[in-house]
């Protein structure tokens, strides 16, 4: 018996800002973003969308497209760093919305929980669900990766924004990808990227005394929630590289691989904050784990970096990137960062590429190198099953992305600043955020959703 990915669905924000538009507005050379980072479009949530909406749309499509019986679904586990409540998980919202769609109490016996570890949370959910199905082969589990990557205006992360969700059905004897029971992990607690509680003194924004109530706040400070992270780009790249290399080496030990590990993989699927991040980060592993190593790791640090830069620009590495990394990149170029959904969208991008080029990769192994800031990497591998091509073709990934609606820079800024008062595109056949409770005291802040026909 094998275990892994049996079906996949997605929901991507339907509006985008062209990267060239952002580049001109910010006085950045467009080639730096397009040719240097592989960015083309930046998808953005519309006024009626949040992480629950994206997750619910992807989940609805997964259930409908595969004629799933809700009674067969034992788990809906969510990976996200875009939670909209500090207590109530996105999973509980999803179960409630699915009952609106598929019947009262249809998911009453379905377990749900959210996993949060930056961009690797949905891989953690997948890991857990695969273990569960392996022990309970008659059960099915669903993993939802849903996120909105939002950065401060004029920050160095602004051009990597994106929004959407991916839904994955985990089952025994999967049709798309069987995943081996080897998971290598590297973890360290660092501050490369995080979303802390932030505060401002009440006295700095109001004349009310610190111990007097202000809009229900009795504390002397006001807590502020921001979707935008605190981050250090260069340090985050270093953490990404270090955790990935460490987990990769651990995976070699787990699998008793003595030759080059990456040469056993048809393609390599990595977390892509921007499309070309993987190719920039993997050069070191390429050099160290070649059948004839190009670096030993014992070089003088300055010489090591000089040689690594030369290798990363060489013809051999370029050919390697084209064969093993590039198939997973195009979707990221057209979407932006999906945080927890990035690695899964890379997988869908790769199999869509193979289907479009009529490349039969059935039985081939793929390597997955996932990363989440904070920081953790997981490395695992899967084998493509006979149903991969039908799944890739039916997904119509690039046909769907081509229908994205272009917005102008003024609209982008209004959406970002939450000044927009109406949806750019009227929602049709999708879930929407309908209202947020402000009147009933014991429901203040409750979010209500509905299906828009």
Segment (H or E) for 17: strand 15-18
Class of domain 3-192+232-452: alpha beta
- What is the model's pLDDT at position 212? 81
The mean of the pLDDT values for the chain is 96
* Selection from 342, 331, 344, 279 nearest residue 16 by Cα: 331
Tell me the pLDDT of the chain (453 aa) as tens digits.
999 999 999 999 999 999 999 999 999 999 999 999 999 999 999 999 999 999 999 999 999 999 999 999 999 999 999 999 999 999 999 999 999 999 999 999 999 999 999 999 999 999 999 999 999 999 999 999 999 999 999 999 999 999 999 999 999 999 999 999 999 999 999 999 999 999 888 888 877 777 788 888 888 888 888 999 999 999 999 999 999 999 999 999 999 999 999 999 999 999 999 999 999 999 999 999 999 999 988 899 999 999 999 999 999 999 999 999 999 999 999 999 999 999 999 999 999 999 999 999 999 999 999 999 999 999 999 999 999 999 999 999 999 999 999 999 999 999 999 999 999 999 999 999 999 999 999 999 999 999 999
Q: How far is CA 255 from CA 121, 137, 184, 252, in A?
A: 24, 24, 10, 5
pLDDT digits (tens, 9 = 90+) for 362-401: 999 999 999 999 999 999 999 999 999 999 999 999 999 9
Domain ranges of the chain: 3-192+232-452, 194-224
Burial of 55 (0-12, 13-18, 19+ CB in 10 A): buried
Are 368 and 291 in contact, with CB atoms under 8 Å apart?
A: no
* Selection from 72, 54, 50 nearest residue 63 by Cα: 72
The tokens describing 184, both together, are: 């290598």
The tokens describing 13, both together, are: 């924000």
Ranges of beta strands (E only) in 153-266 are 162-172, 177-179, 184-187, 193-194, 198-201, 221-224, 230-231
The tokens describing 287, both together, are: 């050099």
Segment (H or E) for 144: strand 140-149
Q: Which residues contact 95 (CB under 8 A, 6 or more apart)?
A: 76, 107, 110, 112
Residue environment code for 264-275, b if the CB has 16+ CB neighbours within 10 A, otherwise e: ebbbbbbbbbbb
The tokens describing 12, both together, are: 């991507």
Distance, in Å, from the CA atom of 57 to the CA atom of 85, rounded to the nearest integer, reads 19
Q: How far is CA 453 from CA 15, 51, 293, 412, 432, in A?
A: 19, 20, 58, 26, 10
Q: The whole model's pTM is what?
A: 0.96
Three-state DSSP string of 145-173: EEEEECCCCCCCCHHHCEEEEEEEEEEEC
- What is the model's pLDDT at position 205? 83
């Amino acid at each position: 018996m094998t275990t892994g990915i049996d079906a996949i669905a997605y929901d991507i924000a339907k509006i985008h800002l062209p990267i060239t538009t952002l580049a001109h507005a910010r006085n950045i050379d467009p080639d730096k973003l397009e040719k240097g980072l592989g960015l083309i479009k930046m998808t953005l949530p519309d006024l009626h969308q949040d992480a629950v909406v994206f997750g619910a749309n992807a989940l609805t499509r997964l259930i409908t497209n595969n004629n799933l019986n809700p009674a067969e679904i034992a788990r809906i586990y969510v990976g996200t760093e875009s939670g909209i409540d500090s207590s109530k998980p996105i999973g509980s919202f999803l179960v409630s919305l699915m009952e609106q769609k598929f019947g009262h109490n249809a998911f009453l016996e379905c377990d749900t929980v959210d996993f949060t570890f930056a961009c690797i949370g949905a891989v953690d959910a997948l890991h857990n669900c695969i273990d569960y199905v392996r022990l309970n082969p008659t059960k099915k589990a669903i993993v939802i990766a849903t996120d909105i990557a939002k950065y401060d205006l004029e920050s160095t992360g602004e051009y990597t924004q994106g929004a959407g969700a991916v839904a994955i059905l985990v089952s025994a004897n999967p049709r798309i990808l069987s995943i081996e029971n080897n998971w290598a992990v590297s973890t360290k607690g660092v501050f490369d990227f995080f979303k802390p509680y932030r505060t401002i003194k009440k006295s700095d924004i109001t004349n009310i005394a610190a111990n007097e109530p202000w809009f229900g706040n009795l504390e002397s400070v006001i807590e502020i929630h921001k979707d935008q992270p605190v981050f250090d780009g260069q340090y985050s790249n270093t953490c990404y590289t270090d955790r990935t290399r460490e987990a990769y080496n651990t995976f070699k030990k787990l699998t008793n691989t003595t030759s080059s590990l990456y040469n056993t993989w048809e393609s390599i699927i990595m977390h892509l904050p921007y499309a070309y991040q993987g190719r920039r980060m993997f050069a070191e592993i390429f050099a160290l784990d070649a059948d004839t190593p190009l670096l030993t790791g014992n070089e003088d640090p300055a010489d090591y970096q000089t040689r690594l830069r030369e290798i990363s620009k060489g013809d051999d590495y370029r050919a390697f990137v084209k064969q093993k990394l590039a198939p997973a990149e195009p979707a990221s170029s057209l979407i932006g960062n999906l945080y927890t959904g990035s690695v899964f969208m890379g997988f869908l991008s790769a199999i869509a590429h193979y289907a479009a080029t009529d490349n039969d990769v059935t039985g081939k192994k793929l390597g997955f190198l996932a990363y989440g800031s904070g920081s953790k990497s997981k490395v695992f591998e899967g084998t493509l099953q006979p149903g991969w091509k039908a799944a890739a073709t039916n997904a119509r990934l690039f046909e769907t992305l081509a229908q994205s609606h272009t917005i102008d820079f003024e609209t982008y800024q209004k959406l970002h600043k939450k000044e927009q008062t109406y949806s750019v595109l009227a929602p049709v056949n999708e879930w929407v955020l309908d209202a947020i409770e402000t009147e009933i005291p014991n429901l203040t802040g409750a979010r209500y959703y509905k299906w828009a026909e």
